[in-house]
Homo-oligomer: A and B are copies of this chain.
Amino acid sequence: MAKKTAVIDLGSNSVRMVVFEKTSRYGFFICSEHKKKVRLGENAYNNNKILQEEAMLKAEKALTYFKEKALKEKCRKIIAVGTSALRDAPNAKDFIARIAKNVGLNIKCINGKTESFLGGLAALNLLSDIQNATTIDIGGGSTELCLIKEGKIVDCISLDLGTVRLKEIFYDTKKFNALDQFIQEALKQVPKHFQNENIIAIGGSLRALSNSIMKKNSYPLKMIHNFSYSFEKEKNHIEKIQNAKNLNDFNIKKDRFDTIKEGCVIFLALAKNLKAKNIITSAVGVREGVFLSNLFQKYTKIKNETTDFSKFNAKFPPNFNPSLKSIQDRFSIDYNDKSAYFANKLFDTLLPIHKINLAFKKDLINATKLSHIGERINFYFANEHSAYIALNSLHFGFSHKEILLISTILKANGKKINPFAIENIKDLLPNNHILAWLNFILALSKKLAKDTDENLDFTLKNHTLYIYSTKKQIYFSKEEIKKISKPKLIILAFNQQN
């Protein structure tokens, strides 16, 4: 049976549940997401932060619904956390007890630093190659900043800035004059070392902004996670949203309209304060952080009195990617082949003539590892299906450039790449020389691996590539192999050492 875990996050604005399925020790993917806009913090900010009965009732209904769904989806474990609205509320304990009694769910109220840490943990592990950055996670009740230095989380803070909070205290009451003062006070709590040119944007409001920017710029991918933009270039657009009379023209979903301006105010103030240059969008946050810290067996060790999170830093094993692994777990053929091994060797053997940066070898090998997955959809045009799955499922830990490169060479499958077919993504792809070589090596590796499981050797002399096994003659599919489009003149000599 699938090992599924549901993580429920009871925020000030909405209750959300994510269901994760583990496909192997560290391989996992997201099976489903659920959201109910409960607004637990509703009318609390002007009522001494006391959770109101109506909001609690809505939350209880939503949690009942989520628990039912989690059980239906066969989750073995349900982890529920409560954030800002809950930790602020004088009646939080009563509410938690009520949910435990009526719904049978134990909500753990996490403090601001923990919330910040968990968001940072998710971003650090599931975005692509984060070394130095500060996260900004804007929620309904609070905003968390998490400082990442040299690939580790080093500091966490939480500010009482939240979209619902600002809406109720300042917007609904039209006390705009006091708003700026309130924000300036909050900014004073941000230590200077949080300043960073790389800002990771977490939370629904910031995703909505990134989405609006993607649409405005006709970005060629429908992929919000890992989408990055220049703050300098897009600041003006965000300010326009903040001051818009009509939000319909900004490609923002209607259910965001009521708090997006508050989100803009908080984000602009923080991004300027932190001297942001590059904004990286994260589709993952506190829920994925809870899942990961549980996966890394640290979650239960984080206590409310924890102030030093350094011992809870955790990462996947080196060279491990959870999306790649879980795609292999879900779609791979049930036998091994040598194609990745051949690709690695061929890249090195051919280095003197292709002279491609070694960094691309990783993409080549990852593509090779995924070259059979499309066969689970259909053997015919399996290369296109492999490319489709890679493009749509390599979610975590890969940059958009990497995903597109892998997908493009998988699709090409040794045929010449039509420049018109990649016209709209060419700014995100390496040059034609690199594409042609990676395409050639991938297709050759795949064909050779179809023919043999022997550890082939390759040598290059002048423009001849010698392909042979020192152990035996191989029955190569020469006709098939010769059809592969070559990046330049290169002769293939089979079963011969030079």
Question: Taking beta carbons and an 8 Å cutoff, which residues of A are in contact with B?
Answer: 1-2, 29-33, 36-37, 61, 64-65, 69, 72-74, 222, 255, 330, 333-335, 375-379, 381, 385, 388-389, 392-393, 395, 450-451, 453, 475, 477, 479
Contact = CB atoms under 8 A, between A and B. Distances in A.
Contacts of A69: 450
Given A64-B475, A475-B65, A31 B375 contact: yes
Contacts of A222: 381
Contacts of A377: 388-389, 392-393
Contact of A378 (B73, B379, B393): B393
A330 B385 CA distance: 15
Contacts of A30: 379
Nearest to A19: B379
A406 to B, nearest CB: 15
B453 A72 contact: yes
B64 A379 contact: no
A375 B330 contact: no
A437 to B, nearest CB: 25
A335 B29 CA distance: 17
A375 B378 CA distance: 17
A334 B388 CA distance: 23
Contacts of A451: 65
A479 B376 CA distance: 36
Contact of A74 (B255, B334, B375, B392): B334
A333 B330 CA distance: 12
26 contacts: A1-B334, A2-B334, A29-B378, A30-B379, A31-B333, A31-B375, A31-B379, A32-B375, A37-B479, A61-B475, A64-B475, A65-B475, A72-B335, A72-B453, A73-B333, A74-B334, A74-B335, A222-B381, A377-B388, A377-B392, A377-B393, A378-B392, A378-B393, A378-B395, A381-B392, A385-B392
A384 to B, nearest CB: 8
Contacts of A31: 333, 375, 379
Given A64-B475, A74-B335, 6 more contacts: A2-B334, A31-B375, A32-B379, A65-B451, A255-B479, A378-B392
